[in-house]
Structure 1
Amino acid sequence: MARRDQWVMLTTLAVLQTLTIVTGVYAMTTDFSLSALTNGSTPTGPTASSPAEGSSPVPVVTSGPVLARLPVKPGDGPLPTKGTLTRQLTGALGDKALGGRVGAVVIDTVTGEQIFASNADLAITPASTTKIVTCAAALAALGPDTRLSTRVVQGPKPGTAILVGGGDPLLAGPSAKDDGYPKQARLSTLAARTAATLKAQNVRKITLYYDTSLFTGTPKAPGWKTNYIPDGEVAPVHALTMDEGRQDPRFRSPRVADPPRYAAAAFARLLAKQGITVAKSVRQAKAQPGAAELGKVDSAPLYALVEHTLTRSDNDLAEALLRHVAIKQGRPATFDGGAAAVIAVLQRLGAGQNVALSDGSGLSIRNRISPNALAKVLALSGSAAHPELRAVASGMPIAGFSGTLGNGRRFTRSDSKGQVGLVRAKTGTLNNINTLAGMATTKDGRLVTFAFMADRVPLNAEPVLDRLAATVARS
């Protein structure tokens, strides 16, 4: 990535009744800083939020807090006074709403020094902040420009074709709108390309098969609750899925019981519309290595998929990325193989201590990650040494603006609303578990990362976590 000496920031805000709020900043600097914390995109495509993390309309805010603090030299202002920060954070960590098991850390991204730590190495159930480590490992292992390909190849006999799943759960079915971010590969495009190839070969009638062998193992992770799939939190994990396994892409639920068969049946109907007759029976089969390609569509680049995964807390895409890391690392494309592969990549990055995974999305209650590990990964995403990880930073929801921090419930109280637009963070929410990990610039322009985690919450600790993050931002 070319070196650049400054930030370019663009934030457009308008009244909700007349315009849609769009916030974005494109950061390109080797001294990576999120001084106003508005860098990134606001995806609007299909989502699968973690429990209690659904999105709602973005509240109207003024531009003042977002634009006010662009330091002359972003990211390397003076450190906040440790004594003051420690006193303020310690006071907030004593709030009974957090329960009896809490970990916290604040890290200076310039030096890597812990500015504040309380149970920083305690392995805590992370909920959806798990997606931070999954996405970082995917970017590090695969590269930010990698795309996920869904293909159709020649079958074993003349007049046969095989639809090969490439592990892209955002593959759009025939009824999905084509107006989201990131740009989705479409099954209809694949059908048109395949039909054109077949017609060029004077083939007008085929028997269709489908191949899901890229991913293996059970489609449900250890530690998932039985209601997750029926409630639409996630679909069974397969290499061939369209619309993230939704019966209707407009709604989170219901999810289909057999996503590969559902996608293959839809593809057969799309081929028919292109003038290709498809035999009634569509069965599963494995494509032969080197089989001639009849058609292909590619996903958006990985950096955009990561942004979407983090901003929208997309469980389905996170689980797919976990398996792609496993494949790249030469491990089985299963939950266990993916977990081991992600941890191995994190260890190479120097952030793999006190991390134990059972899935990639954070739905599993068996996952354990320390606050220090999360904050380290976030610090790496802002490091000049790891430009490939930048999408982790740009994918963080913006307080009061986007994703799971733009739902009208977060950063609304008097002790946090002043930091709207100045905090980027990934939320984590499961029953009795609240976590928040992200980054902020201090009042003097120092970029820091933080992780605040509690997994014995009596009811709801989100307002306290917002208070903690806001305290860091105004320190």
Structure 2
Amino acid sequence: MVVPELRPWRAAGPHVARIADAVRPRLARAAETVRPRLARVAEAVGPRSARPDRPGSPRVPRPKTWQFTATAATAGLALAAGVVTAAGPWDSAGQRTAERDRAVALEAARGADHGGGRAHAGTPPHGSQAAPPAVPVLTGLDGTAATVRSAPGGEALGTVLDPLLGDPALGSRSAAVVDVATGERLHATGSGKALVPASTTKIATAVAALSAMGADHRITTRAVYEPDTEEVVLVGGGDPTLTAREDAGELASLRDLAERTAAALAKRGVREVTLSYDTTLYEGATLHPIGVNPNIAAVTPLMVDEARTDGSTSGPAPRVADPAADAARRFGELLGEHGVKTTPPGPSKATTRASTLAAVSSPPLAALVERMLTHSDNDLAEALARHTALATGESADFAGAGAAITARLEQLGLSTKGADIKDGSGLDRRDKLTADLLTDLLVKAGDPTHPELRPALTGLPVAGFTGTLAGRYTDGAAGVVRAKTGTLTGVNTLAGTVVDKDGRLLAFAFLANGTTDPTAAQSALDKAATALAECGCR
């Protein structure tokens, strides 16, 4: 395999060029590693078929005998792209579509998408020219010995990491580093100590949801008709990505639902209805324990555009007080545009006599998980936690969701000793996870026998490039660290994967509680992850 020349990428801007320069040597080594494997898989898979874009499209069979983990991505490994696209949620360049689109957004806005940025971060651009994605280093995870070099030594790793993790800015901390290919624990510092994980909890939510429902699962929102009362009921299915924007892209569209509902009513000769909405899918309180907060809307199975009022698509934002009522009101307005007169909407429950007028479905769960992880989407995290509860017979409330996630991880053979999961997002300060469990989750997501879990890796933000890591690692490890961040007052965490300088894929988890300077704590965690990327450590 020939590693492509990277000079033309400089046209995309200095940011992408720096990433290309940083990882090109590792790309060359990884290319040599995976070349024979690619040839075998390409022969087995055959010509690549297009992935279905819409609900109802024919499904593409996914090979289960071999899987890749993309730690960043490029068009350079074209052969790999053909294989990987058939096996998971990647685009024709072998990279997550969201990541490619994010490259364009970053080049245009020169900013990040977390912490209040209002550049509509996370919205796919609509230009004709997409910027190249981050450079990938593909590491095979089939357990063979065909790796560039052996895993780092524990003693050498400790020599590098211990001084960095001993930074006083990190307060009480725990850490673990694991070789993803073998599952061998290479380094541990208090790794079994349960600490507040903040948003790294979303890794547990992702793995549990994918395990319970499968990567192809979609969430459906329906409009049903009660013939006895001539009532149209908008039934919330628990899809917080349901959108009323004119350009919905791959998201479920409230506009489409209204148009199709109006057409179905016209066939019945009905032009005036009572409008209601059904939120009975979930149970318990709708207010997250954190209280009213711009980081999350009320947790309800019916909302539009995550109840945001400022047009944003990620990060903190003002929210409507009653997302379900707001969604139904907007649905009624859209029905009116198609000639259907409605009453002001009120809460109700669809009966078994109701017939479905129209329905729209979310993108596949694989894409939802990636969005949740890349942008640390709290609304989506809580929705996926509740769907995990529904799929496993638990109550669809905070307690049931936490219990469902824990039980699902245990069914995967993971030890949850010390873990206490209170929500799906990690906003609850009562959450407790260990560095051991977080790294075990990442290793499990890379297990070739569990390809359905792969989006828990591909969705991780890329250092210096996407999501909550877009503005970090600009001076080191850009493009080779993928990690989920976690930040609460006094809490700084980081968990993800990194390819070291010898091409070995490592999983790591660093948790710090009792931090008093969030900037210093974040910097210390980034230095530790960068040290892993630069370490041969033998």
TM-score (norm 2): 0.76
Q: Which residue of 2 aligns with 1:390?
A: 454
Taking the aligned partners of 1:360 and 1:7, their CA distance within structure 2 comes to 43
The 5-angstrom pairing of residues 23-34 of structure 1 reads: 30=66, 32-34=68-70
Taking the aligned partners of 1:53 and 1:353, their CA distance within structure 2 comes to 35
Q: Which residue of 2 aligns with 1:327?
A: 390
Q: Which residue of 1 aligns with 2:372?
A: 309
Q: Which residue of 1 aligns with 2:406?
A: 343
Q: Which residue of 2 aligns with 1:237?
A: 299
SS in 2 for 1:369: coil
Q: Are the aligned partners of 1:304 and 1:391 in contact in 2 as well (CA < 8 Å)?
A: yes
Q: Are the aligned partners of 1:34 and 1:75 in contact in 2 as well (CA < 8 Å)?
A: no
Amino acid at match of 1:441: V
**Which residue, 439, 443, 448 being the options, matches 1:379?**
443
SS in 2 for 1:83: helix
Amino acid at match of 1:257: A
The 5-angstrom pairing of residues 225-374 of structure 1 reads: 226=291, 228=293, 232-250=294-312, 252-279=316-343, 281-289=344-352, 291-351=354-414, 352-374=416-438
Taking the aligned partners of 1:221 and 1:67, their CA distance within structure 2 comes to 38
SS in 2 for 1:377: helix
Q: Which residue of 1 aligns with 2:183?
A: 112
Amino acid at match of 2:407: A
Confirm whether residue 184 of structure 1 aligns to residue 251 of structure 2: yes
The 5-angstrom pairing of residues 32-43 of structure 1 reads: 32-34=68-70, 39-42=95-98
After TM superposition, give the deviation of residue 17 of structure 1 in Å: 6.5
Aligned residues: 446
Taking the aligned partners of 1:245 and 1:440, their CA distance within structure 2 comes to 35
**Structure 2 runs not aligned, ≥5 long:** 21-26, 28-37, 39-62, 75-94, 103-111, 123-130
**Which residue, 467, 478, 483 being the options, matches 1:420?**
478
Taking the aligned partners of 2:148 and 2:418, their CA distance within structure 1 comes to 29
SS in 2 for 1:217: coil
Amino acid at match of 1:463: S
Taking the aligned partners of 1:36 and 1:74, their CA distance within structure 2 comes to 20
**Which residue, 185, 190, 198 being the options, matches 2:265?**
198
Deviation per CA, 1:315-339, whole angstroms, max 9, x where unpaired?
0000000100000011110000000
Q: Are the aligned partners of 2:180 and 2:507 in contact in 1 as well (CA < 8 Å)?
A: yes
Taking the aligned partners of 1:315 and 1:401, their CA distance within structure 2 comes to 21
Q: Which residue of 1 aligns with 2:161?
A: 89
**RMSD value, Cα:** 3.4
Distance 1:37 1:442, change over 3 A: farther
Q: Which residue of 2 aligns with 1:3?
A: none
Q: Are the aligned partners of 1:35 and 1:75 in contact in 2 as well (CA < 8 Å)?
A: no
SS in 2 for 1:146: coil
Confirm whether residue 472 of structure 1 aligns to residue 536 of structure 2: no
Q: Are the aligned partners of 1:37 and 1:422 in contact in 2 as well (CA < 8 Å)?
A: no
**Structure 1 runs not aligned, ≥5 long:** 1-5
The 5-angstrom pairing of residues 119-198 of structure 1 reads: 119-155=190-226, 157-173=228-244, 176=245, 178=247, 183-198=250-265
Distance 1:282 1:10, change over 3 A: farther
Deviation per CA, 1:141-196, whole angstroms, max 9, x where unpaired?
011000000001112624211100000011102xx25266xx21111100001001
Q: Are the aligned partners of 1:37 and 1:398 in contact in 2 as well (CA < 8 Å)?
A: no
Distance 1:359 1:379, change over 3 A: same
Deviation per CA, 1:284-330, whole angstroms, max 9, x where unpaired?
11111352100100000000000000001100000000100000011
After TM superposition, give the deviation of residue 354 of structure 1 in Å: 2.4
Q: Are the aligned partners of 1:326 and 1:333 in contact in 2 as well (CA < 8 Å)?
A: yes
Taking the aligned partners of 1:131 and 1:463, their CA distance within structure 2 comes to 22
After TM superposition, give the deviation of residue 81 of structure 1 in Å: 2.6
After TM superposition, give the deviation of residue 211 of structure 1 in Å: 0.2
After TM superposition, give the deviation of residue 349 of structure 1 in Å: 1.2
Confirm whether residue 432 of structure 1 aligns to residue 504 of structure 2: no
Deviation per CA, 1:318-365, whole angstroms, max 9, x where unpaired?
000010000001111000000000000011112233221111111111
Distance 1:433 1:82, change over 3 A: same
Q: Are the aligned partners of 1:41 and 1:307 in contact in 2 as well (CA < 8 Å)?
A: no
Deviation per CA, 1:390-417, whole angstroms, max 9, x where unpaired?
00110000011100111x2x113xxxx3
Deviation per CA, 1:262-289, whole angstroms, max 9, x where unpaired?
100100010000111112x311111113
Confirm whether residue 405 of structure 1 aligns to residue 472 of structure 2: no
After TM superposition, give the deviation of residue 139 of structure 1 in Å: 0.4
Q: Are the aligned partners of 1:52 and 1:430 in contact in 2 as well (CA < 8 Å)?
A: no
Taking the aligned partners of 2:270 and 2:454, their CA distance within structure 1 comes to 46
Q: Are the aligned partners of 1:107 and 1:114 in contact in 2 as well (CA < 8 Å)?
A: yes
Q: Are the aligned partners of 2:137 and 2:480 in contact in 1 as well (CA < 8 Å)?
A: no
The 5-angstrom pairing of residues 451-470 of structure 1 reads: 451-460=509-518, 461-470=521-530
**Which residue, 503, 518, 527 being the options, matches 1:445?**
503
Q: Which residue of 2 aligns with 1:208?
A: 275
Taking the aligned partners of 2:499 and 2:505, their CA distance within structure 1 comes to 4
Identical residues among aligned pairs (%): 41
Taking the aligned partners of 2:292 and 2:146, their CA distance within structure 1 comes to 46
Taking the aligned partners of 2:179 and 2:476, their CA distance within structure 1 comes to 22
After TM superposition, give the deviation of residue 245 of structure 1 in Å: 1.0
